[in-house]
Amino acid sequence: MKASNHKFKSTLLFFSLLIGVMIVAVEFFMSDSDYGIVSVKNLRAFPETWDVITEAGQASDITLPYAVEGVHAGQPFIVKSRIPDEIGSNDVLFFRASHQFVQASIQNKEVATFGYQDGHLFGKTPGSSWVIIPILQNQAGNELQIEVTGAYDNYAGKINEVYLGDKASVIAYLLKDRLPSAIACIIILTLGISMMIIAFILKSGGLTAALFRLGALSIITGIWSICILNILQMYIGNVFFLLSLEFLAFTILLPFFLWFLQAFSYYEKKHFVRIMFWVSIFLFFVIEVFQLLEIADYMESIWMTHILIGSTILYLALDGVREFLKKEAAKEVKMFVFTVIVLVSFLAVDLFRFYFATGHDEGFFSRLGLLIFLLMWAVEIIKNMSKVIAENARTRILETLAYTDQMTGLKNRSAFEEKLSYFRTHTKEIQGCYIVTFDMNGLKRINDRFGHARGDEAIIEFSKIIQMGFEDVGSCYRIGGDEVCVIITAQDHITDDVIQSRINMVSEQAERTGRKTGTDFTVAGGYSKIKSDETYDIDMVYREADRMMYLNKQKMKNFFHQSEKKAEPS
C-alpha cells in the first residue's frame, strides 16, 4: 500500500511539474512583451491597401491576406501598392510565399525574386520561403508591384500578409513565431540520438531493439518537424533542399513507426502491421521514382502517404481499443492507445488554434504532442529495461552464489559438474583440453592437532596457491574438502612441460607456506590431456588426472615415511 501511494505521489508531482513548465513556456513565448534583447516593436503590417490584377480584370482597395478566384497553377497575378511615405533606414518588406514563384519590382525595376533563379533537378515547386524585399528611404511613395505564380492550383491566386520593419524585427518575428516549435524539434532530435546511443551501448535484448527503433523514429520525426518550420532558411539558402528533406522524412515516417511497433511481440505477430510495413516501403520508392521521372512531384503524390498513414493509424486505434477492452490486453497495446489519445488531444488544440486563434505557430502543440508521445514511450521502455537489467543482475548474483565455493572463492562442485556435462555434449571443444587435479596432504593431522578452524585456513591457503598458479590459463574448482581441479581448454602455448612446471611450482609454494604457517601441509598434483588422435571423453581424462594425482600423493607419502625413518636414532 505504501509503495502504491509513493508511486501515485511521484506521478502527481511529475505531471504537476510538466503542466507548470508548459504554462510558463506558453506565457513566455505567446506574450506580446517587447522588452527582450531582440524586439518586434518595429514590425508592422503593410499599412496600404492593394490593387490586384489578373487576366480577368482588376480589384482595388484589397487588404492582405487575399485569395483570387479563378487563378490556376502557372497563371501569374499581380498585387501592387505604394510604399509608405515614412520608412526607416533599415526597413524591409517581407511575406511568406508557399509553393509560389515571386517577382517584386519598385517603379518597374526588379528588386527581389524567389524561385526563378533557384534551379533544381526535380519537381514543379520552388518550395516555401520568406521573401524579403529590400527598400531604400528614397523609394518612399514609389509603386511596389509583386507578381505571384502558384506552382499548384491550391496555392495559385493566394498571397499572404506583407510586413514592414527593420531586419532585426524580421528576425525577431521569425524566432518568436517559430522558436517554441524549434526547441521541441531539437529536444526530439536529441532524445532520438540519446536513445540510439544507449541502445548501441547495451546492444542486446528485445527492449534494447525497441529503444533503438524509437530513437531512429525520433530522429526522423525531428528532421521532418524542423524542416516544416522553415526557420532553417535563415541558415541554409537552398530552400528546395529543405523541401526535399521534409518530404523524404515524412514519407519514411510510417515505415519507421511500424518498424518500431514490430519490436513488441503483439505487433510483430500482426499480419496487418507486417503488410503495411512493406506497403509503406514500396510506396516510398514509388513516390521517389515519380519525383525523379517527373511523373508527379512530392506535393502531387503526398496524398498517397496521407491515406496510408490515416488507414494505418485508424486500424491500429480500433484494434488497440478492441484489445484494450479485454481484461488481459498486452501492455504495449495499452501504452499505444494511451499515447495516441495524448497525441490526438494535442493535435485537437492546434486544430482549434488554426481556425480560431491564428497568428502563432499553429503546429506548436502538435510538435509538443509528438515530443510527449516519444518521451512516454522512451520512459516506458527504459523503465522496463531497468527492471530487466536489475533482474538479470539478481540472476547473475544468484548464479554466482550457486556456483561459488563460499570458503575459498573458487568455483564449486556444481559448477564443475555443469562444465563436465557441457563437454560431454560438445566433444570437439575438449580436443587438447587438460584436467589438473590437486589434493592437500596433512589436512587430517592439522584438524586433529590445531582444530578445524586452522584446517579451514590451510584449505584457503592451499586454494589461493593453486589459483595463482593456474587462473590465467584455466578455471579452478573446489570439488571436495581438500580437492581442487583445474580445467584448461586447448591453448597453443600450453604443453605438457608447461603444465608439469606449474604443478611443481604449486607444490613448492605449498611446501613453503606450510612451513611458514607451522601446518606443514603439502600438495600433490596430477594431470591428463585429451589428444586429437584418441577417443577419450572428458570423464576418462578426469579419472586419469585423478589417478596420476594419487600416484604422486603416494610417492610423497612414501618419501615422507622414508625421511622419518632416516631421522630416527639407530
Question: Cell numbers at residue 197, please?
Answer: 546511443
Chain mean pLDDT for the chain:
80
Residue among 316, 270, 336, 552 at smallest CA distance from 439? 552
Helix (H) or strand (E) holding 544: helix 538-567
- What confidence tens digit (pLDDT) does each residue in 221-231 have? 888 888 877 77
Most confident of 170-184, 392-406, 509-523: 509-523
The pLDDT value recorded for residue 146 is 92
The pLDDT-based confidence of 15 (bands split at 50, 70, 90) is very low
Residue among 473, 445, 486, 443 at smallest CA distance from 461? 443
Which DSSP category does 360 fall into? B
The pLDDT value recorded for residue 36 is 45
Helix (H, G, I), strand (E, B) or coil at 141: coil
Helix (H) or strand (E) holding 114: strand 109-114
The pLDDT value recorded for residue 433 is 86
- What confidence tens digit (pLDDT) does each residue in 76-127 have? 999 999 988 888 777 888 888 888 899 999 998 998 888 876 555 567 788 7
Contact indicator for 159, 345 with CB cutoff of 8 Å: no
Strand 158-159 to 91-98 pairing: unpaired
The pLDDT-based confidence of 4 (bands split at 50, 70, 90) is very low
Contact indicator for 71, 157 with CB cutoff of 8 Å: yes
DSSP 154-199: GGTTEEPPPEEEEHHHHHHHHHHHHHHHHHHHHHHHHHHHHHHHHH
Identify the bridge partners of residue 360 per DSSP, sorted by sequence position. 358
Is the per-residue pLDDT at 39 higher than 60? no
Is the per-residue pLDDT at 551 higher than 50? yes
The pLDDT-based confidence of 234 (bands split at 50, 70, 90) is low
Q: Give the amino acid at 509.
A: Q
Most confident of 171-175, 180-184, 354-358: 180-184
Question: Residue range 269-286: average pLDDT?
Answer: 91
In whole angstroms, give the CA distance from residue 332 to residue 11.
Answer: 20
